[in-house]
Amino acid sequence: MKSVRVLALCLGLLAACRDEAPAPASAPQPSTLPGAAPAVPVASDATPASPPPFVPEKVSQEGHAMGTHLAFAAFTSPMMGAAKVRAAFNAATAEIVRIEKVMTTWDPASEVSRINAAAGKAPVAVGAETLHVIGEAQRTSALSGGAFDITFETLHGLWKFDQDLDPHPPAAADIRARLKYLGYRHVKVDEERSTVFLDESHVRISLGGIAKGYAVDRAAKVLLDAGVSSFYAQAGGDLYTHGTKPDGAPWLAGVRDPRGPEGDYFAVMPVDDHSFSTAGDYERAYIVDGKRYHHIIDPHTGYPATVSRSVTIWAPTALQADAIDDAVFILGPEKGLALVESLDGVGAVIVDAHNRVWISKRLEGRVRMVHPPRDGL
């Protein structure tokens, strides 16, 4: 799981209205008697009170989907009150749940499960979204030399870091037996026919390293389409922000200390109209005989990657950030930063295996260190 905390300004709502009673339908009229001077209205010195200025309110909401924690926050506007913001959050959550049903491996009826069930047999027709996400995953695999690879699911059942957590590494022979089937080139995408085919019966895929990012992008679009102008949307460690706070300040995101307690951030940075995603070895992990094992598997070895402790990616979309953070984590700081610098609008903060911090050129001057990352196993 990826963990990010967004620090937001809390503002209270001051609202007021002035009710003016309408004139009665049969209001009495001034009388005019024969020979009498017409009545003259008396002028009033009273000036109508101006309505109080609008004060934005911060609205927050949480949820759960895709096996992770969801969080939303936004500020109201004169055209978008708190009730409408909450309705938009509900719609964004529903969108994430919809995507989960399409792309999960836990539901045998999902499109990804159907692809896996037909491995080595036949191509499977899928919707445009699944085709798009798998296509982006394949492009990231090619860019990273296979460091990011959705066929890591071929090792499913050997490493147990989820609900089936079992702090016992698998036998080396079992890993070798599965590893020979792992490789993104086994995934054949036919965009014209909108099909996906796994050309070997032992191959399996999972979109766990990219689908949450896509879901966050979709949730952000729901909020924008609803008229929410200043917000963040977060699923686990995948975050997207839009706009600024009412005072013009940007949203701030914290980079978790990989060896610190939960909620401890060693750096913070502004994130505006961008995504922010962190991959770390500190969750879904266990330690055996003085060695840390975690869920980010190097597809070249079949074992947890060992060259990084955490990688935070700043990117234009949450989908891109979600895929790139895993790739950089596996590649390590030198090769990983080379990949980051080759991509438009992408930056990185890396804590390597020796606890050194690496910051890409695009983030120089944007990242503020709070304290050095703690060392430890």
The enclosing H or E element of 220 equals helix 211-226
Q: What phi, psi does 5 have (nearest 5°)?
A: -120, 130
Specify the DSSP class assigned to residue 345.
T
Q: Rounded to the nearest 10 degrees, how much is the dihedral formed by the CA atoms of 278, 104, 331, 374? A: 30
Give the global pTM. 0.84
Map out the domains of the chain with their CATH numbers: 56-105+206-242 (3.10.520.10), 111-198 (1.10.3980.10), 250-377 (3.10.520.10)
| Per-residue pLDDT at 43 | 52
Q: What pLDDT, on a 0 to 100 scale, did the predictor assign at position 51?
A: 75
From residue 189, give the alpha-carbon distance in Å to each of 113, 129, 132, 181, 322: 16, 13, 10, 18, 21
CA pair distance 191, 341, nearest whole angstrom: 29
> What are the φ/ψ torsions at residue 135 (nearest 5 degrees)?
-60, -40
Instruction: Name the nearest CA neighbour of 238 among 82, 135, 96.
Output: 96
Stretches where the chain sits below pLDDT 50 are 1-40
pLDDT digits (tens, 9 = 90+) for 272-325: 999 999 999 998 899 999 999 999 999 999 999 999 999 999 999 999 999 999
Residue 365 phi/psi, 5-degree rounding, is: 90, -15
Give alpha helix (H) positions in 234-375: 318-331, 333-341
pLDDT of residue 3: 41
| pLDDT of the residue at 50 | 74
Question: What is the CB neighbour count within 10 angstroms for residue 116?
Answer: 20
Q: What's the pLDDT at 283?
A: 85
